[in-house]
């Protein structure tokens, strides 16, 4: 198998017309490649990732019956978004929806697979880290974090004490700063 360097050299030695033909073939290769190129080159499609994550983390069907969240689908959507280099605020929103989806499932149905509890923790952690990283307004950050604190208060039970500990470890200093 050729190295990327060898492929680049060969590609750029081709006439422009042949490069365009190859690019068209690459574009048509798969839906994932199309999404990647749209996000990377046009900055288009980030909203689609948010909608996909919302749909993947719905915990009930349209008829109101419980629906298991497929961890592999949620991870796949997040990985595609990361590989497509979506903006950090888009990724932050996606992490919130993933967290909220798992949290809603656990609260609505009184529990779920152990992996859901792990995912709740992971997505909350990722969300908080990204939120702090992208925030350039301390007051807005404080309001966002207080909203998360309120959310956790409304969903408080003995099963998610570890979420409070995580929240306090990451966010408390940003809330209590003057």
Euclidean distance between the first and the last CA atom of the chain, given in angstroms as a whole number: 58
Which among 105, 118, 115 is positioned nearest to 59, based on CA atoms?
A: 105
Question: In whole angstroms, what is the distance from residue 71 CA to residue 56 CA?
Answer: 9
pLDDT digits (tens, 9 = 90+) for 78-130: 999 998 889 999 999 999 999 999 998 988 888 888 889 899 999 999 999 99
Question: pTM for this one?
Answer: 0.81
Domain boundaries, the chain: 8-44, 45-175
- DSSP run (H or E) holding 128: helix 114-134
pLDDT tens for each residue of 120-163 = 999 999 999 999 999 988 888 989 999 999 998 888 776 678 88
pLDDT of residue 78: 96
């Amino acid at each position: 198998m050729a190295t990327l360097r060898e492929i680049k050299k060969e590609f750029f030695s081709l006439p422009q017309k042949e490069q365009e033909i190859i690019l068209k073939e690459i574009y048509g290769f798969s839906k994932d490649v199309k999404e990647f190129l749209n996000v990377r080159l046009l900055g288009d499609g980030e909203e689609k990732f948010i909608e996909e994550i919302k749909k993947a983390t719905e915990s009930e069907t349209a008829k109101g019956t419980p629906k298991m969240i497929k961890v592999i689908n949620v991870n796949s959507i997040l990985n595609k978004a990361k590989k497509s280099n979506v903006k950090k605020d888009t990724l932050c929103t996606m992490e919130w929806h993933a967290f909220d989806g798992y949290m809603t499932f656990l609260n609505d149905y009184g529990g779920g697979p152990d992996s859901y509890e792990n995912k709740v923790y992971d997505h909350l952690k990722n969300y908080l880290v990204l939120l702090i990283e992208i925030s350039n307004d301390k007051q807005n950050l404080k309001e966002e974090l207080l909203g998360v604190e309120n959310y956790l208060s409304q969903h408080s039970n003995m099963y998610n004490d570890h979420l409070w500990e995580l929240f306090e470890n990451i966010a408390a200093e940003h809330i209590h700063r003057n």
